[in-house]
Structure 1
Amino acid sequence: MSIAKRLPLALVLLPLLATGCAHDNEITAIGGSIGQEVKRTSCPAVGVAAYTGTVTLFNPPASRDSKAIDVVATLTDLKSQCDDSDTDSPTLATNATFRVVARRSDSHGARDVVLPYYAVVIHGGDKIASKSISRISIHFDDGKLLGEANGQANATVSRADATLPENIRNRLIRKRNAEDVDASIDPMTDPGVRAALNKASFELLVGFQLTNEQLAYNATK
């Protein structure tokens, strides 16, 4: 099974909220009796899908012995910027940046290691809207065990698809008085509200493009 097919089953995010969106698209809702605060923008959330934030290379490749570990690389410092300045634009563009920090077991000689990574846009929690694969090169100087490089990923989504219907938005932001009949009712308990939020949700996930064996190794270690 490909990583792309596994992703919807592994949407345990290391959460980092997208930043840089205009406040016009931000919703803050306070649930009635439970006082739950919900913040949402039209910009895609950004994170790393479970088990794909680290990759381990072995020498020989087929070995899984700890003594055979050659290189371990970790994707970290994930940040994002969502360009929402042009309200007439039919799309929302998100740019994510990150670092890959790698450690090798043998410091002898200069070396370059090229690692594939993916960027996938998930719509509605389980649908893959798009996916791209890129590569990042890590350079190790002679005598050095550590190397790092900067990477980036981009996503473009439909503004209309990522925007809540006006009636749902109004339900979330409406201020309720204590004497209102529904004052103690959290709108998030309404299946229709939850379905609308899910339909309008997008995530940009990044991670290493792993083989099935590498993914299984990460899931069990």
Structure 2
Amino acid sequence: MSRLLQGAQFVLAAHRVNQLPADLGAEVAFAGRSNAGKSSALNALTGHKGLARTSKTPGRTQQMVAFALPPLVQGEGEPPLAARLIDLPGYGYAKVPEELRAHWKQEIDAYLHRRQSLRGVVLIADIRHPLKEFDRMMLDFCFATGLPCHLLLTKADKLSRNQAAQALAAMRKSFPDGLHATAQVFSSSAGTGVDEARERVAELLRTPRE
């Protein structure tokens, strides 16, 4: 396991962007629809089964949740950087009041635009279904801002290896030219792609924004 993700610890759950930890260091945000397996993916990547709450009722993550990682070692003579993972609220499936939906749309937008320590986004999407409006909006934002994005096509264990490979190839072909995005197949239950995803998250954290 990447040491960078090992030892992840819950810090706080924030209802607003200004309640998050100080905007210093480096962080990667996890985004995705509420039924795409985001919490399970976070638990698999950190090797901590209870880190992010999972539920049979999608949409339980209704706050921005910050997890601290071990300090990010830099070059010689430079101090270590604080490192974090931010779990954004699941979107698009949860049966929540319209007022709360509007609040989270506003807060996620503010987070993506204002957060200086944000170095990349991990977008979680179910490999069995086409990308939804929220997924496309996230990719469009990353394209417009030059923010790197790594797409985890989850629940790959539900498909054959050939079907998963075809879905991955089709997804990569759909990316617009100039989008700083990578994609892979992933299954938290089968362990498919976990090491690859850990390395990609570590790479995002270590790469300063342009």
TM-score range normalised by the length of the shorter chain: under 0.3
Normalised by the length of structure 2, the TM-score is 0.23
Structure richer in strand, relative to its length: 1
- Scaled by the length of structure 1, the TM-score of the pair is 0.22
